[in-house]
Chains A and B, each alone.
Chain A
Amino acid sequence: MEEKIIEAIGISKSFHDPLTVKVLTDVSFSVNKSEFVSIVGKSGCGKSTLLYILSTMDTSYEGMLLLDGISMKTKNDKELAQVRNEKIGFVFQFHYLLNEFNNLQNVMLPGLKFGKLTSKEVEHHAYEKLKILGIENEALKYPNQLSGGQKQRVAIARALINEPLIIMGDEPTGNLDKHNSDVVFNIFKELAEEYHQTLLIVTHDLDFAKKTNRIITMQDGKIIKTELS
Chain B
Amino acid sequence: MKIKLIAQIAMALLMARFKQTIVAAFGVTFSITMFITLLSFMGGLNDLLDNLILNRTPHIRLYNEVSPSSIQPISKSEAYPDAYHFIAHVKPKNELPEIRNSEAIIKALREDNNIRGVAPKNTVPIFYHVGEISLTGILDGIDVDAENRLFTFKDYVVDGNSLDLKNTPNSIILGIGAAKKLLVQVGDNIQITTSNGTQFTLKVVGFFQSGMDELDKIQSYVTLATIQKILGKPASYITDIQIKLYDITKAPELTKKYNKLFETDAIDIQTANAQFETGSSVRTLISYAVGITLLIVAGFGIYNILNMMIYEKMDSIAILKATGFSGKDVNAIFITIALTIGLVGGIVGLIFGFGLSAIIGQIPFNTASLPTVKTYPINYNTKFYLIGAVFSLITTYMAGYFQSKKASKIDPVDIIRGK
Verify A99–B324 contact, CB threshold 8 A: no
Interface size on B, residues (CB 8 A): 28
Q: Mark B64-97, 1 if CB is under 8 A from A, else 0.
A: 0000000000000000000000000000000000
Q: Beyond A92-B419, A94-B419, is A100–B16 a contact (Cβ under 8 Å)?
A: yes
**A27 in contact (CB, < 8 A):** no
Q: Closest chain B residue to A115 by CB distance?
A: B1
Verify A113–B324 contact, CB threshold 8 A: yes
Verify A93–B16 contact, CB threshold 8 A: no
Stretch at the interface among A28-36, A74-82, A127-135, A179-187: A74-82
Q: Mark A65-89, 1 if CB is under 8 A from B, else 0.
A: 0000000000001100111111000
What residues of A have a CB within 8 angstroms of the CB of B375 in the complex?
Answer: none
Centre residue among A84, A93, A96 by max chain B CB count within 10 A? A96
Verify A110–B318 contact, CB threshold 8 A: no
- Inter-chain CA distance A81–B412, complex, in Å, is 12
What residues of A have a CB within 8 angstroms of the CB of B116 in the complex?
Answer: none
Tell me the chain A residues, 87-138 only, with Cβ under 8 Å from chain B: 90, 92-94, 96-101, 109-110, 112-115, 119
Chain B interface helix/strand/loop/mixed = helix
Across the interface, B318 reaches (CB within 8 A) one of A82, A96, A113, A114, namely A96
Stretch at the interface among B21-29, B144-152, B244-252, B326-334: B326-334
- The smallest beta-carbon distance between A175 and chain B, in angstroms, is 9
What residues of A have a CB within 8 angstroms of the CB of B2 in the complex?
Answer: 113, 115
Q: Mark B310-341, 1 if CB is under 8 A from A, else 0.
A: 00000110111111111111000000000000
Interface size on A, residues (CB 8 A): 33
**B390 in contact (CB, < 8 A):** no
**A57 in contact (CB, < 8 A):** yes
Q: Beyond A92-B416, A98-B316, is A84–B15 a contact (Cβ under 8 Å)?
A: no
Across the interface, A112 reaches (CB within 8 A) one of B5, B16, B318, B419, namely B5
**A150 in contact (CB, < 8 A):** no
Verify B325–A81 contact, CB threshold 8 A: yes
Q: Mark B342-361, 1 if CB is under 8 A from A, else 0.
A: 00000000000000000000
- The smallest beta-carbon distance between B411 and chain A, in angstroms, is 8
- The smallest beta-carbon distance between A97 and chain B, in angstroms, is 8
Q: Mark A186-217, 1 if CB is under 8 A from B, else 0.
A: 00000000000000000000000000000000
Q: Mark B1-44, 1 if CB is under 8 A from A, else 0.
A: 11001000100110110000000000000000000000000000
Interface CB pairs A-B, < 8 A, 22: A52-B413, A55-B322, A57-B322, A57-B412, A57-B413, A58-B413, A77-B326, A81-B326, A83-B324, A85-B324, A85-B325, A96-B315, A99-B16, A100-B15, A100-B16, A101-B12, A109-B5, A109-B9, A110-B323, A112-B5, A113-B2, A158-B323
Listed in ascending order, the chain A residues whose CB lies under 8 Å from chain B are 48, 52, 55, 57-58, 77-78, 81-86, 90, 92-94, 96-101, 109-110, 112-115, 119, 158, 162, 170
Listed in ascending order, the chain B residues whose CB lies under 8 Å from chain A are 1-2, 5, 9, 12-13, 15-16, 315-316, 318-329, 411-413, 416-417, 419
